[in-house]
Amino acid sequence: MALTYQQTKLVKDTIPALKEHGERITSIFYKTMLIDHPELNNYFNSVNQKNGRQPRALTAVILGFASSINHLSELVPKFERMCNKHCSLGIQPEHYEVVGKYLIQAFGEVLGPAMTPEVQTAWTKAYWMLANMLIGREAQLYRDFESWPSWRPFKIDRIVNECDDLYSFYLIPQDGKKLPRFLPGQYISVQIQVPGGYFQSRQYSLSEAWREDYYRITIRRDEGTVYSNSVSKSFFNPGTVSNYLIDQTAVGSVLKVSHPAGEFFLDVNNTSTMPLVLISAGVGVTPMVSIANTVMESQPGRQIAWIHGCRKHVPFEEHIGSLRKKNCNFHTKIFKTVINSADRPGETYDYNERMDLAKLKPEELYLQHGGTEYFICGPEDFMINQKLYLMQQGVPASRIQCEIFTTGDLAFKQG
């Protein structure tokens, strides 16, 4: 049921207080809810709880919702990201009951007398408007997952050290059944059990075109977590899951894996012949490999420009070089900040500096084409900066996709 005019006004009137106290509200919400429902630790990223990112993300979602309550269609792309993430984690409708209860309770605790019965009723109604939108979309996604709505056991078939601390894991389903297709650029979630008895899940982009018998993900070691005698010093540290997979699993290990999901992808059903520009940094190369391999197989005549920034080594360097040699439509520009004696200008790198798209000619970015598609993946500030540059060159935001795993703070900064 829609909000009345007065209820809408009451919700919007709380925006100043939410801007001032939003993170305190969401911090109290998470703390109280997880004390009363510790089983929900299985769904939330413990690192983002500790560093405050999860509360900030939820605050951004609430503020975005309240600010656009009269124009909810504007939030649909951001909700799509959230729904995909929820489905990759197995979030169910009953979880929204728990969240709603503790969120409204936290509102009351922080806002005090300002949280009148009328404001509480308005926000409760508004919350369920949002919740029902998400539940409805997630139900559609789960139907698309068909017989794979939850966690599925996969066995590690092969582990390959791509370069430095970057490892590719080849995963095959234990049941031996043919794997469903995914859209290049999408991710899977991998779940492990951490010290303390809870589960933690992380999302990893699929780094290969679809294959019916295996999925491949590529993972970078994070210096935040050190494993000793199979135990992490703290499951709150960055790298908890990634480093566990690198240090504590081996060929034959079994992992729990979710159905592929994500709204960052190349639409393979759209047979566009317009150029494709892939812009990546660091481990952001992973979804780009999936996209490039898919296009090279299905549309070898399509122009692709791959611009990558790295420190010392280019992940998948040999493979990318082979694509360039096999297909004259595949072009690369590499920015490296550290050059070694084996590097050759024009072969292993093009620029000895951090990525700067302004160094490239407009035609190298296909800026003259009105339909060029741009995909960006890397650190958050990197993605924002590259997107901003492209938009300053006249590229509309609708033709630029960024791989954003968060569902809140950065997601709601994207125009």
Residues with catalytic annotation? 96, 138
Task: Show the tokens assigned to 275.
Answer: 């150029």
Helix (H, G, I), strand (E, B) or coil at 25: helix
Q: Which residues contact 50 (CB under 8 A, 6 or more apart)?
A: 236
Contact present, 7 and 122 (Cβ < 8 Å): yes
Task: Show the tokens assigned to 102.
Answer: 């503790």
Contact present, 173 and 256 (Cβ < 8 Å): no
Task: Show the tokens assigned to 128.
Answer: 């369920």
Spell out where 197-290 has E strands. Answer: 199-205, 215-220, 227-228, 231-232, 254-257, 276-281
Other C-beta atoms within 10 Å of 414: how many? 15
**Residue recorded with tokens 């590229």:** 395
Task: Show the tokens assigned to 250.
Answer: 């081996």
CA distance 282 to 372: 23
Q: How would you class 40 by CB atoms within 10 Å of its CB: exposed for 0-12, middle for 13-18, buried for 19 or more?
A: middle
Q: Give alpha helix (H) positions in 276-331.
A: 285-298, 317-326
CA distance 234 to 77: 35
User: At 100, which amino acid appears?
Assistant: G
Helix (H, G, I), strand (E, B) or coil at 274: coil
CA distance 35 to 98: 12
CB-side exposure of 53: number of CA atoms within 13 Å?
14
Residue from 360, 183, 382 nearest 283 by CA:
382
CA distance 81 to 27: 22
